[in-house]
Amino acid sequence: MQEGKFIYLAGFGVEKRLILATAKNIREVFGFGVRFSHITLPPRLGYNPQRGQYKGDTLLEVLSKVYYPDMLKFLALLPFDLYEEGLNFIFGLAQLGGRYAVVSTYRLKSEDERLFFERVFKEVNHELGHTFGLMHCKNKKCVMNFSNSLQDVDAKSRFFCEFCSKILPKP
Ligand SMILES: [Zn+2]
Ligand SMILES: [Zn+2]
């Protein structure tokens, strides 16, 4: 099977401006072309009424059925609060070295739109980094630095350090 060249981006209930800005960020940082996916999800998929949150790996599993012949990676942007067993919340998750990733905008919100968008770009680049096989990085400025809180997200950049950049494929 031929490896696709495009990073597919799908937004579910996320503002169009953010999706377009995220696509621009992906093109800039990864150098790959971006295409938009318009698939829909079953309502309340992965919703846990006890927690009032959505289970990240359930969403990722269903999304991983989506396929386009020219697809390299697939990233979904969601407004729902995500969790994983054993964690209060997650900003996103990805298949390490796989194709699929999800990012939640829920905990990244700010009244400052620029800051909000910048946070989304960082988490998108981080999760896509995992799909390219990257692990967490000790460099505090590197986007692959692990973020446990918004302060951590704000402290890092949306770019990959020199070491991580070398592992990323070139378009
Ligand atoms: Zn991570
Ligand atoms: Zn790094």
- pLDDT digits over 52-81, tens only? 999 999 999 999 999 999 999 999 999 999
The three-state secondary structure class of 168 is: coil
pTM equals 0.96
3-state secondary structure (DSSP) of residue 120: helix
Look up residue 57 and give its two tokens: 């790996």
43 Cβ partners below 8 Å, 6+ apart?
A: none
Average pLDDT over residues 106-121: 98
**What's the gap in Å between 138 CA and the centre of ligand 1?**
12
Q: Quick check: helix, strand or coil at residue 101?
A: strand
In a domain, 61, yes or no: yes
Q: Annotated catalytic sites, by residue?
A: 127
Q: What is the distance in A from the centroid of ligand 1 to the CA of 126?
A: 6
**Nearest ligand to the C-alpha of residue 144?**
2
Which bin fits 33, alpha (ψ -120 to 50), beta or left (φ > 0)?
beta
Ligand lying nearest the CA atom of residue 156: 2
DSSP letter (8 states) at residue 85: T
Q: Are 145 and 156 in contact (CB under 8 A)?
A: yes
Compute, in angstroms, the gap from residue 68 CA to the centroid of ligand 1.
Answer: 25
Number of domains in the chain: 1
Q: What is the dihedral of CA 154, 166, 64, 3, to 10 degrees?
A: 150
CATH classification of the domain holding 38: 3.40.390.10
Q: Identify which ligand lies nearest to the alpha carbon of 161.
A: 2
User: 1 lies in a domain?
Assistant: no
Average pLDDT, the chain: 96
**Angle, in degrees to the nearest 10, between helices 113-131 and 16-30:** 50
Expressed in angstroms and rounded, the spacing between residue 33 Cα and the centre of ligand 1 is 23
| CA-wise closest residue to 118 among 150, 149, 154, 79 | 154
Per-residue pLDDT tens for 23-53? 999 999 999 999 999 999 988 999 999 999 9
Q: Is position 78 within any domain?
A: yes
Q: Give the domain extent around 75.
A: 6-167
